Amino acid sequence: MICPSYSVLAECYDVLMQDVDYAAWADFYEAQFQKHLDRRPSIVLDLGCGTGTLTGMMASRGFDMIGIDLSAEMLSKASAAAQSAGHGILYLQQDMRAFDLYGSVDAVVCSLDGINYLTRKEDVLLCFMRVYTFLNEGGLFIFDVNTKWKFEHVFGDERYILEEEGIYLGWENEYNHKTGLCRFYLTFFCENENGSWDRFEEIQRERAYSDRTLKNLLFRAGFEVLEVVSDLAGGAISDTDERHYFICRRPRA
């Protein structure tokens, strides 16, 4: 059975992402807020929030959070977690390229290569323009991307097997060096309560963008790029980085 992107993955996303150090990501965002903003941001938008683990962590640190994701399944899990934790997080099912808010925000974050999932430069520009529209003057936009080096040397045409209790995932990559498009063919086996297993398939896509391309698109949207770093410690970038983090600002008029 071939399913829409993330419809099945939502069921096991948190298990597969359990090695992600979300606290380190939250620390990184807070450090950037302190470094580049005159005051602590009140409202923060988490763009492509998934199941809301990071959104909830930021909420627990006192930020008024909004989470946007295209997947209803992801947002269902995020909302349930927020209700259980007593967080008043506003979750919205919207497209990153055309989202709409009731007002403006002080900061926008987009974590774990959400921008790579926009596979056309025109779509990336649309996303950047929407962020600019709803970001207060002087506000920060922070996002990360998987680098071209990672697509070429880590993803490539590799195959992976991921296995956790009740979940088995076969992961096969297909990378086009010319276009920078990478297709991920995912085959899930999920165990039911009665011990039987269901098989599902998904196809996901990401595109590699150079720093130069992203900076140009950010400039066209109206942003200034304050920093590009290679890790959550703020390390200098190199040609063999797997991930780059962009810290951008909407200039004041």
Both structure tokens of 70: 């295209």
The pLDDT of residue 189 is: 85
In this prediction, residues 63-82 reach a mean pLDDT of: 94
Helix axis angle for 72-85 and 53-60, nearest 10°, is 30
The pLDDT of residue 191 is: 80
In this prediction, residues 44-68 reach a mean pLDDT of: 97
191-230 pLDDT tens trace: 888 989 988 888 889 999 999 999 999 999 999 999 999 9
Q: Does domain 13-146+209-249 have CATH number 3.40.50.150?
A: yes
Q: Which of 32, 53, 91, 76 is nearest to 226 (CA)?
A: 32
- pLDDT tops 50 at residue 51: yes
In this prediction, residues 236-251 reach a mean pLDDT of: 98
Q: Is the pLDDT higher at 112 or at 3?
A: 112
- pLDDT tops 50 at residue 4: no
In this prediction, residues 72-95 reach a mean pLDDT of: 95
The pLDDT of residue 64 is: 98
Q: Which of 164, 213, 216 is nearest to 191 (CA)?
A: 164
**Architecture per CATH, 150-207:** Single Sheet (2.20)
- pLDDT tops 80 at residue 143: yes
Q: What angle do CA 96, 77, 53 make, to 5 degrees?
A: 70
Under the banding of pLDDT at 50, 70 and 90, the label for residue 3 is: very low
In the chain, residues under CATH classification 2.20.25.110 are: 150-207
- Give the residues across from 109 on adjacent strands: 46, 142
The pLDDT of residue 199 is: 87
Gap between the Cα atoms of 251 and 34, Å rounded: 17
Chain mean pLDDT for the chain: 92
Under the banding of pLDDT at 50, 70 and 90, the label for residue 16 is: low
DSSP string over 162-182: EEETTEEEEEEEEE-TTT-EE
Gap between the Cα atoms of 97 and 60, Å rounded: 28
Matching residue, tokens 């990071």: 54
Q: Specify the range with the lowest mean pLDDT, choosing from 66-70, 106-110, 161-165, 218-222.
A: 161-165
Q: Is the pLDDT higher at 215 or at 8?
A: 215
In the chain, residues under CATH classification 3.40.50.150 are: 13-146+209-249
> pTM for the complete prediction?
0.92
The pLDDT of residue 110 is: 98
